Structures are given as structure tokens and as C-alpha cells.
Amino acid sequence: MNQPLSAVTFPDDGCELRIIDQTRLPGALVELALTTLPEMVDAIQSLRVRGAPALGVAGAVGLAVLAERAAIEGPATFDADMATAATALRSARPTAVNLAWAVDRVLAAGQVGGASPTVRATAMRTEASTILNDDIAMCARIGVSGATLLRSGMTVLTHCNAGALATAGIGTALAPIYTLHARGETIRVYANETRPLLQGARLTAWELDRAGVPVTLITDGMAASVMRSGVIDAVLVGADRIAANGDVANKIGTYGVAVLARHHGIPFYVLAPRSTLDPHTPHGDGMEIEMREASEVRAMGGVATAPGHVTVHNPAFDVTPAALVTAIVTDSGVFHPPYHFTA
């Protein structure tokens, strides 16, 4: 029996941020211990840790680790060090709202008037631990709520990875699948490979197979044909940011899947924590979309797949209009349109 995955962990001594290096999957399950700001920023930007909830937890724990070190090594510069670290972590990946949200929570926890840096660092460590534990509980609640939209024997389609590797718990979009699987009910999954970085192939297919959930891997270009065949009963995806009107930013390709689902009369469900809701962004047009390196598209596994000089357009995310979203599931329950999320 495989042990449950823990994509992000915080050892009791508070001296390091531990993550599964997701760039090594599915070939090897490797855990990294991060202790410095450059290591943490690089891990986030290089997708060693990814998925909106996991990024939030990693940012929170990372800042708490840096606070512990700063309190010992440079108490006189504690405030400046924390401001620098928070800015660097927030900006490492701008689209996922959870990252900035969690970093700001931990930074605010350290604003204890008149307290020593050591006391403030302890408060930040406590807040980071709370965020991690809340994420685990959040995933479980999404699993229970999302399971009410499914039934045993269904087959669902996923895009990218919104499972245990994207959170500190059992995931968001995959949480209902794991919940039903634990009850002994059968849910089958078709996983889009999710180009150009293949998170669906490398991560979703790997973790579902590891958990004993029936999974079939398809290329992104096969989704329309598979839907037309009638085998798909629902689509489950995560989110990196949800605007006040219900527009959803998620991994590039999600919008196309939503359009296909609407055409084929298949419900399209978005599952994400409340922290992913961004009531200060009225609609998707106001979301910053991260642009990534051309090399991710020009090559695969170090092997060139396109001319080295060809121009590449490589957004990490796209925005799915709320009108295509059947329901949004958070740890507060199931929301149906029209969506209107407030602070």
C-alpha cells in the first residue's frame, strides 16, 4: 500500500520547507529540503512545487523558515529581510492568488508590536502551520461536497493536476474522486496530458495510478473525440484564481475543454479553495497571466521538437468565462451561477 502523498511539509523544528520535486516525476519520487530564499523562489518558478494551494502553503512555510533564520542571524535587519522575502515569494508566480494570500497572512502574523524578532518568527511559524493544516482540511471538505455531484460508475475528464501533488491534502479537483474511492465506489478518470509540461501525464496519471484509481491518459487533442464518444460524464478542473463574477484562471487548455464540454452537454465543474476566490478582481480580463519560457514549447525532455529560432507564445494559464462553468465547489460548499463572490 503506497503511503499518502505530502507535496509540501513543515518539519517540527521549523528549519526547512520540504517539497516533492515534481520535475522528477514520474521517474523518481524525490523530496527537497529548502532553506534559502533563492532555493524557494527557484522551486516555485521551476515548478518543482506547483498547484495554487500547494504554492500558498509553500510560500507560507517558506517565509516562516526564513523568519526563523533571520531572527537568529540578523535581528537588526529582520523587517527588511522579511519585506524582501515576501516580495520575492509573492512575485515568483503571479497568477496563483493563493501564493500572495498565504505570504501576506504569515507576514501579518509577525507584526507583533514591541516583540522581539524571535517572538515574531514564532508567531509566523504558527500561522504557517495553521495554513498547512487548514489546506488539508479544506481538501477533505471539497472532496465531500464535490462527491455530491458525482455517482459511482461515472467517468470524468481532468486537465492538468489538481490532486495531492497540488495541495497539502488530497487535492481539489481530484478530492471527490479520492473521497468516493475511499468509500469503495468506482470513478474512472480520463486525464488530459496537459501540454506543454505534461502535468496531466507526469503527475495526475501517476498519482491516480499510485492510489489505485482507474485512469486513462489521452493527449489534449483527443478530448473532443472522447467527449463525442459519450464516455465522459463530467469534467473536473482546479483553479489558480477565480474572479468575483466566476471567471476562472486555470492551466492553459482549460478554456478549450470547457468549450468542448458545453458543446457536448457535459457538466464542467471547478473545484478550488475559498482562498482562490479573488473578489477584488471583477472579471477574468483583470487577471495577470504568467508567460513562460519558449524552451518549454520548442523542446520536450531536452529533445528539440521545433526550430530553435521559431517564435513561441507560451501562456501558463487561460481564463474560462463563468458562463461555461456548471458549478464551483469550494470548502464552503457548491455554488451555482450566477456567481457573485464578495470579500
pLDDT digits (tens, 9 = 90+) for 5-47: 899 999 988 899 999 999 999 999 999 999 999 999 999 999 9
Q: Which helix (H) or strand (E) holds 207?
A: helix 205-211
Mean pLDDT across the chain: 96
At 87 the pLDDT is: 98
CA distances from 316 to 70, 95, 227, 246, 288 (A): 33, 9, 24, 19, 11
Question: Residue 179: pLDDT above 50?
Answer: yes
Dump pLDDT digits (tens) for 316-340: 999 999 999 999 999 999 999 999 9
Q: What is the pLDDT of residue 14?
A: 81
pLDDT band at 96 (very low <50, low <70, confident <90, very high): confident
> Which residues of the chain form CATH 1.20.120.420?
8-139
Q: Does domain 8-139 have CATH number 1.20.120.420?
A: yes
Q: Give me the half-sphere count of Cα atoms (radius 13 Å) on the Cβ side of residue 85.
A: 28
The candidate with the shortest Cα–Cα distance to 270, out of 251, 290, 292, 289, is 251
Share of the chain above pLDDT 70, in %: 99
Nearest CA to 238 among 312, 153, 169?
A: 169
Instruction: Please tell me the distance from the alpha carbon of residue 239 to that of residue 273, in angstroms, as a whole number.
Output: 9
Looking at residue 291, its amino acid is M
Q: Where in the chain is the domain with CATH 3.40.50.10470?
A: 142-335
Predicted pLDDT at 13: 85
What is the layout of strands, in order, in the sheet containing 241-243? 277-278, 241-243, 248-251, 317-320
Q: What is the mean pLDDT of residues 114-125?
A: 96
Grid coordinates of 103: 505570504
Residue 101, pLDDT above cutoff 70: yes
| Range 142-335: architecture per CATH | 3-Layer(aba) Sandwich (3.40)
Residue 240 annotated as catalytic: yes
Decide if pLDDT at 202 tops 80.
Answer: yes
Q: Is 323 helix (H, G, I), strand (E, B) or coil?
A: helix
Cell of 90: 509573492
d(CA 320, CA 187): 25
pLDDT tier at 3 (50, 70, 90 boundaries)? low
Q: What's residue 214's pLDDT?
A: 98
**Portion of the chain with pLDDT greater than 90, in percent:** 95
pLDDT of 343 above 90: no
Q: Among residues 220, 240, 247, 318, which one is catalytic?
A: 240
- pLDDT band, residue 122 (cuts 50/70/90): very high
What is residue 1's predicted lDDT score, i.e. its pLDDT? 44
| Confidence grade of residue 224 (pLDDT, cut at 50, 70, 90) | very high
Q: What is the pLDDT of residues 53-90, one digit of tens each?
A: 999 999 999 999 999 999 999 889 999 999 999 999 99
Average pLDDT of the residues in 213-233: 98
- The per-residue pLDDT for 114 is 87
